Each structure stands twice: as structure tokens, then as C-alpha cells.
Amino acid sequence: MTEIASVLRRESETFIDTVLALSRLIKEMFGEIDGDRCTLVVGLGNRDITPDVIGPLCTDSVLVTRHLKELAPKDFAFLTPVAAICPGVLGTSGIESADYIKWVCDNLKPQRVVIVDALAARSLDRLCRTVQITDTGITPGSASEIVGAL
């Protein structure tokens, strides 16, 4: 888990420093990447509820390239194939997010899946400054119980 206190102070280099730190952590977790295999980015959460919208907002910003790699592989050889989904929540879709993600993974067969979700916090000091990165999976609604586990 990483805390990024400078985000709240709006320091000039905060965004760049945050991106670089997260990038380094994610690269370490992924290890060697097969440039021809797809990465699936999943944004969990409810677009209609402000504290739960971080996953959907993240997928809105993902540069999806899987289709480009398939349609014009020579022109886009420098890109890694990326796909993104935002399954919504059971209350609005009628489908459990895990079932949706499993179906997509069974058909897409990505090398890795990156899931972005809001993180509950027990302390106000952690709001807007805590990022949890794990390779063990997540359990909906349990973030406050697993804070600190990497």
C-alpha cells in the first residue's frame, strides 16, 4: 500500500511523481510482459455514486489498443494490446461483476487483468491518498479489512 500525501497539498510535481511511483510498482508486479498478449483493464464501481466512481473513471481514460493491434498489427507494433470494460454493479446491470469479468476473460484470454476499484478507509487521513496494489485479488466490500496486505 502506498500513501501519496502530496496529492492533497497539490504540489507541482504531485501528478507526475504519483504516476511514476504507481508505474514502477505495477511494472514490478507484472514482471516480463508478452507484447502480443492482451491486458484487460476493469473499472469496478457505480458511476452514479461519487465515492464509487473511480473504477469507471479510470476505464474512461484507458487507451484501448487491442482492436488496432488486430486490424493493423504492423502499423501498431509499438503498442501492447489493451482492452477495457466497466461492468457496472449488480443493482444496475443484473449481472455480478465477477461473472461479467470471468466471461470476458474466458473469451479474451488476457495475459493479465488490472482491476481498479474504490478503496474503503478506516481513517480520514487515508482518504484521497492511499493506493493498494495486490496480486491476490479483491473481495467486494472487504477493503477495510485487508488494508495493509500486499
100 contacts 87 by C-beta, under 8 angstroms: yes
Instruction: Give the span between the Cα atoms of 32 and 97, in whole angstroms.
Output: 28
Residue 71 confidence (pLDDT): 94
Residue 148 confidence (pLDDT): 38
Residue 23 confidence (pLDDT): 86
Residue 35 confidence (pLDDT): 73
Residue ranges per structural domain of the chain: 2-146
Cα–Cα nearest to 3, from 17, 41, 141: 17
* CATH number for region 2-146: 3.40.50.1450
Mean pLDDT, the chain cut into blocks of 10 residues (150 residues total): 60 77 86 83 92 93 94 92 93 90 95 88 76 73 39
38 contacts 15 by C-beta, under 8 angstroms: no
Residue 39 confidence (pLDDT): 93
Residue 9 confidence (pLDDT): 65
Cα–Cα nearest to 123, from 140, 144, 139: 144
Would you say the pTM of this structure is higher than 0.85? no
